[in-house]
Amino acid sequence: MPLLSSSPAHILIVDDDPRIRQMLTRYFEGEGYSVSTAADGAEMKSQLRQKAIDIILLDLSLPGGQDGLDLAREIRSQSDVPIMMLTGRDDVVDRIIGIEIGADDYIAKPFHLREVHARLKSILRRRQPSAPKAEVNEDRVIRFEGWTLNLSRRQLLASDGNDIELTTGEFDMLTAFLQNAGRVLTRDFLMDSTRGRQLEAFDRTIDAQIVRLRRKIEADARNPQLIKAVRGVGYIFTGKIDG
């Protein structure tokens, strides 16, 4: 959802530890954000029904039968609101699953509040359309294989005009591929392009994002024709850019 420049971003903190909720609330309210909290999935859903949320900080381990991965999957089936996973587990599989189901980032506990803030700002900044130039009224678009990617509106349209929801990471990755069509892109390049920084040497995060993106733009994700792997190097976009 687009952010309004005249109002602060609204953060929803979902964590069953009241100390963490209080710490994050105090910090982000002190930084000028609007903050709501939830201790479990039921409270989170209630908050989402009642309020316009710009980003969710979602704990991986939660009570009530649904953990953070379950809730992230449910959120992503209904909305493209950014999700930052908070995890006390150093489990690579959980991180990969989180990215596969559409989480925009993850951070392990214990964390530094400034790092959480920096990552959150990065996600929100990439969600915000570029400021329009006064002399240019037309949207910046890239057309490829019947698809239209609107860079100004951060929107992907299918050939039939349907709006295809992309997470922040998926949009940034597709943009990187289209702007570098025919060029082999390394995982490091894609990591920098989609997150604005170097995460840990965690190549499988990028692979998971590629899988999700292929499911949305390829006719057959198991036999991709647009985004192809280059063994030992990275990936290349081989589709035709129109005009």
**Over the stretch 16-43, which tens digit does the pLDDT of each residue have?**
999 999 999 999 999 999 999 999 999 9
Domain presence at residue 136: no
> Environment class of residue 108 by beta-carbon count within 10 Å: exposed (0-12), middle (13-18) or buried (19+)?
middle
Domain presence at residue 2: no
Q: pLDDT grade, residue 93 (50/70/90)?
A: low
Mark whether 122 and 14 lie in a shared domain: yes
- Span of 128-132, 138-142, 144-148, 189-193 with lowest mean pLDDT: 128-132
In contact, 209 and 194? CB cutoff 8 Å: yes
Domain presence at residue 196: yes
Mean pLDDT taken over the chain: 84
pLDDT: which is higher, 118 or 199: 118
Q: Is the pTM for the entire model greater than 0.75?
A: no
Give yes or no for residue 124 having a pLDDT over 80: yes
Residues sharing a CB contact under 8 Å with residue 148, sequence separation 6 or more, in sequence order: 141, 142, 156, 157
Domain presence at residue 133: no
Mark whether 121 and 163 lie in a shared domain: no
Give the pLDDT score at 5.
46
- Domain with residue 80: its CATH number is 3.40.50.2300
Mark whether 117 and 178 lie in a shared domain: no
- End-of-domain residue from the set 76, 94, 127: 127
Task: State how far the Cα of 94 lies from the Cα of 99, in Å rounded to an integer.
Answer: 9
Task: State how far the Cα of 193 lies from the Cα of 179, in Å rounded to an integer.
Answer: 11
| Percent of the chain's residues with pLDDT above 90 | 48
Handedness of CA 24, 206, 122, 144 (dihedral sign): negative
Element (H, E) at 94: helix 92-100
State the total domains in the chain. Answer: 2
The parent domain of residue 97 ranges over 10-127
